[in-house]
Amino acid sequence: MEYFAFTGKTMGGSSAINYMVYIRGSRRDYDSWAELGNHGWSYREVLPYFMKSENNQDIESHNKHYHGIGGPMNVERFPYIDINTMMLVEAFKEKGLPITDLNAENQLGTDIVQSTSKDGRRESVNVAYIRPIRHKRPNIDVVSEAHVTKVLIDPTTKTAYGVTYVKNGKIYTARARKEVIVSAGAINSPKLLMLSGVGPRHHLESLNIPVIADLDVGSNLQDHVTTDALVIGLSNKTSTMVNGPQLVSELYNYFRQEPKKNGPLAVSGTLSGTAFIKSPYTYEDAPDLQFHFDGRNVKEFYSDPTTYLASNVFPLSFYDGLATRPLLLSPKSRGTILLNHTDPVYGPPLIYSGFFTERIDVDVLIAGMKFVLGLEETEAFKESGASFIKIPVEACSSYVWGTDEYFYCLLTHYTSTIYHPVGTCKMGPHSDKSAVIDPRLRVYGVRNLRVVDASIMPLIVRDDAENQKVKASK
């Protein structure tokens, strides 16, 4: 199964290209980290860092014990909510899910999501943290359009003392006075460590890379897996299906709106409403399924679901269909990242997702698909004229639509990720032989080297990984 990994190689990293959804995860996520021996990472201990980072503009509608104001990262609700988002939230309420603060201790329920945006504009980590200080502090120097190729580590003292990087075809060296801190993401942090001699001995030796520290770098890959081949057809009550000139008009209106954007483009595409549930396969007091919805042009999608590319920058009402995405929040399957044997330095790493190597992951997603079919029976759907399109996709046409066999086929042929890879430089106590870094994010066996991104997570959190990167950096 091919794994497409989109990462943000720009100022702000993937926070500059993501959905902007602000959901931290469940209390159970962080308490599980602490139970594995990662002291200082329990929910009670990390909550103050989340609150400190927030400048929450939606605080009146949320519990003040979980939210903060005055922090660098602006958090709000998208200023534009379309009719189909409200239909979905109302339908989930009819299914028994309460309206809940998705950033409190437990996310079980439904709501309009909060976002890392300000007045309808994206607010990346760069905008929130770097841009305000970039030209004001003497101790920060940003080198753009550069590609780091190696962490420099003294092979005798096992001490990191700098990095090499390439810019405009020339090789440069940056030396560290105190520490080298790696934040290249769950795909490229393990790649950089392995290129530097930190990783599995057998793999590094096969590429003639001198081994500095024999660690389980690249293992423990986890991601939120989903499928997008269950499609809800919208009626003309809620679908506008705008044409090209109308889109141009909306773009013009968006740029004219000052200072606050509040039209259809002031939203993270189609992901505004969501819901979290527990499947029959979990015994934890936390959800193991979430539901996302993407816009679809139904005719184009059914002509070839494997190549269909939705822009997803417009609200749900701009399409005539919705793709239902049940999201696997706590996968048991694990993948691996290895260096590219042909071109270890500049070639993309080899990503082995490991999706569905544990059968329970399949069962949980099938349970999610069965649950979401029940939305069709709600008054919210009936009043809107929305219903599932019960036509099998081509690859699964030999199965009866809506059966377990059909759902299994969808997962086999139309699996995708929501782009939340984590865990490839696993954090853990010294007794954990699979751990790469300690609970203070220091790489085992190497002095003055830390990792501070989503790769540190021993277990994936229930939803957006971007906020955990900020917390780790703090």
Rounded Cα distance, 264 and 223, in Å: 30
Catalytic residue (one of 39, 135, 420, 430): 420
Q: Are 11 and 144 in contact (CB under 8 A)?
A: yes
pLDDT digits (tens, 9 = 90+) for 374-389: 999 999 999 999 999 9
What pTM was estimated for this model as a whole?
A: 0.92
pLDDT band at 149; cut points 50, 70, 90: very high
Query: Is CATH 3.40.50.800 the right assignment for the domain spanning 141-221+422-473?
Result: no
pLDDT band at 7; cut points 50, 70, 90: confident
pLDDT at site 82: 84
E strand residue ranges, 168-320: 170-175, 180-182, 198-199, 213-214, 225-227, 230-233, 273-277, 289-296
pLDDT digits (tens, 9 = 90+) for 162-183: 999 999 999 999 999 999 999 9
pLDDT at site 8: 82
Q: Are 327 and 289 in contact (CB under 8 A)?
A: yes
Nearest to 474, CA basis, from 112, 45, 135: 45
**Residue-by-residue DSSP string for 29-61:** HHHHHHHTT-TT-SHHHHHHHHHHHEEETTGGG
Mean pLDDT, residues 393-422 taken together = 93
Strongest mean pLDDT among 95-104, 239-248, 413-422: 95-104
E strand residue ranges, 86-215: 109-112, 114-115, 117-118, 121-122, 147-154, 159-167, 170-175, 180-182, 198-199, 213-214
pLDDT at site 272: 84
- CATH architecture of the domain 78-120+223-417 equals 2-Layer Sandwich (3.30)
What average pLDDT does the structure give for the chain?
90
User: Would you kindly state where each structural domain of the chain is located, as residue ranges?
Assistant: 78-120+223-417, 141-221+422-473
pLDDT digits (tens, 9 = 90+) for 245-284: 666 676 667 667 666 667 777 776 667 899 999 999 999 8
Q: Are 181 and 140 in contact (CB under 8 A)?
A: no
Strongest mean pLDDT among 11-20, 36-45, 310-319: 36-45
Q: Is 420 a catalytic residue?
A: yes
Mean pLDDT, residues 103-132 taken together = 91
Check pLDDT > 70 for residue 21.
yes
pLDDT at site 250: 67
The structure tokens listed for 276 are 């979290």
